[in-house]
Amino acid sequence: MPQTGSDVPGRNARKSLGEAGVVLVDVIVAGGGPTGMMLAGELALAGVDAAIVERRPTPELVGSRAGGFHSRTIEILDQRGIADRFLSEGQPVQAAFFGNTKLDVSDFPTRHPYTLGLWQNHIERILAGWIEELGVPVHRGLEVAGFAQDDSGVEVRLADGGPMRALYLVGADGGRSAVRKAAGIDFPGWDATRSSLIAEVEVTEETPTGIRIDEVGIHGLHLMEDGRTTRVVVTEKQLGPAAEPTLADLGKALTEIYNTDFGIHTPTWISRFTDATRQAAAYRSGRVLLAGDAAHIHSPSGGQGIGLGIQDAVNLGWKLAQVVKGIAPDSLLDTYHAERHPAGARALKHTMAQSIMQRADPRVGALADTVAGLLTIDEARKQLGGLISGLDVRYDIGEGHPLVGRRMPDLDVVTGTGPLRVFSLLHDARAVLLNLGSPGSVDPGPWADRVQLVDATYDGGWELPVIGSVSAPAAVLVRPDGHVAWTGDGTQPGLEDALARWFGPARH
């Protein structure tokens, strides 16, 4: 039987430890990047006491770093009512690529059939503002040095800081995750075959702008908004060491490709990335979970990194909140690995293929031309466009209607209080039972405090990315992450099983 209320393991222990002066929270999130902030925001929306521990001493991310996200990630932000914050600063572009072939997703059935170009430093600033509004504390200049877990919680040891204790610890601390290593979770995969340097520097010579592809890899130079700094991406001729790169390393790599280093100086930041591809063997070890780059690393080809982490966070957040609050049993957390590990593996396989295609080697070129020809076939374009955009993700949570396991479309429905968008019902990260049949034909019953019932009408068609038209269900149970857990024909059968599976046992 699942524990509820004050019987949740660790709740009473937390109170006594609090009296002893130990810093206590429900969940510690190690890592304050996009994944960690998104997860902490999700937990805060659900009323869970979460805190972020971040090794960077200041909130500002030095340099621009990554550059945006695809359709499904924008939808997730829309589900929480914060997409406009990003859209107002970013640039919508048709930038879904496979290799060098652009994939047009403008005809996909979504409000956001595009990629949003927005540098990571802006993404993090906007997310930081959101979690500040939600009251999430961020402990900066601290790093997880280790932990010990028992039946009642996790005690976290911090480098240069005092102890913290929580019911659960989530490692969102990057590809070299200290949490993953301390948990003893294997990180199998493929070693790097090539490396690239990415930097923002000033130059004394005129630089060509745009992308260049040769037998070494992909390179690019781009003048930043300040009109002074140049963003540089250059593939190294030899695989670089696992060490922080220097300005001399960057100059050498540029000279080997462009026959000049353009007089680079005054770097804002320099970093090295590779095509190493690895995935955690398990996303969970007891009371410790992994998300984002801590769970998977890959080539940045395809631009899926930030989006994958945010999708991890939104899948995990509501489940972890229900377990912490004693609503659902601890076993609900096992569905996080069951759903996100296959989704991650699929994306990683795609990035490996992408990386291979981004070379001008004659043999690779022949393959790229063949693939480009195949992608003129509409079905092939939609298949790959669905994968890159994240709109085709389906969790294996049951058979039946094609909607089950897929993301809920953002329909324009009409309720008793007027028209609204379905995504607006998810702003508080609460599940929705959307009844499109006769009022009163479905009812959450004992789950009414966990699931909001909305009677509405909808007269339009139902279109799913890649799948196309599907039959209209009379009722839909939508999880807080926006994925459909059940569809019905306007009657109760199967609904109670779905409610109990995802939102804990009924309370009478």
Q: pLDDT tens digit string along 330-368?
A: 999 999 999 999 999 999 998 888 888 777 778 888 888
Q: Is residue 157 part of a domain?
A: yes
Neighbouring C-beta atoms of residue 152, cutoff 10 Å? 17
Q: Is residue 221 part of a domain?
A: yes
Neighbouring C-beta atoms of residue 474, cutoff 10 Å? 16
Bridge-based pairing state of the strands 277-279 and 218-223: unpaired
Q: Is residue 286 part of a domain?
A: yes
Q: Are residues 211 and 328 in the same domain?
A: no
3-state secondary structure of 410: coil
* DSSP strands (E only) in 342-459: 412-415, 418-421, 431-435, 451-457
- Final residue of a domain: which of 242, 274, 306? 274
> What are the backbone dihedrals phi and psi of residue 385, each rounded to the nearest 5 degrees, phi first?
-60, -40
Q: Are residues 316 and 200 in the same domain?
A: no
pLDDT confidence tier of residue 15, bands split at 50, 70 and 90: very low
Q: Is residue 296 part of a domain?
A: yes
Compute, in degrees rounded to 10, the torsion defined by CA atoms 195, 196, 198, 203: 140
Task: Let me know if 416 is exposed, middle or buried by CB neighbors in 10 A (0-12, 13-18, 19+).
Answer: exposed
Per-residue pLDDT tens over the stretch 282-292: 999 999 999 99
- Final residue of a domain: which of 274, 290, 307? 274
Q: Are residues 267 and 285 in the same domain?
A: no
Instruction: List alpha helices for 197-304, DSSP H.
Output: 247-258
Q: Are residues 329 and 474 in the same domain?
A: no
Of the candidates 416, 428, 440, the residue with the CA atom closest to the CA atom of residue 480: 428
User: Which residue range forms the structural domain that includes residue 255?
Assistant: 195-274
Q: Are residues 262 and 325 in the same domain?
A: no
3-state secondary structure of 121: helix
80/46 Cα distance (integer angstroms): 12
508/496 Cα distance (integer angstroms): 13
pLDDT confidence tier of residue 159, bands split at 50, 70 and 90: confident
Q: Are residues 433 and 464 in the same domain?
A: yes
What is the token pair recorded at 409?
A: 């479309």
Q: Please check whether residue 27 is in contact with residue 49, taking contact to mean a CB–CB distance below 8 angstroms.
A: yes
Ranges 215-229, 288-302, 466-480, most confident: 466-480
Contacts of residue 76, defined as CB under 8 A and 6 or more positions apart, other chains included, come to 310, 311, 314, 481, 482
Q: Is residue 442 part of a domain?
A: yes
* Segment 471-489 mean pLDDT: 95
Q: Please check whether residue 207 is in contact with residue 229, taking contact to mean a CB–CB distance below 8 angstroms.
A: no
pLDDT confidence tier of residue 211, bands split at 50, 70 and 90: confident
Q: Are residues 311 and 453 in the same domain?
A: no
Q: State the sign of the Cα–Cα–Cα–Cα dihedral 352, 375, 198, 295.
A: negative
Q: State the sign of the Cα–Cα–Cα–Cα dihedral 234, 240, 246, 247.
A: negative
CATH of residue 459's domain is: 3.40.30.120
The structure's pTM equals 0.92
Q: Is residue 270 part of a domain?
A: yes
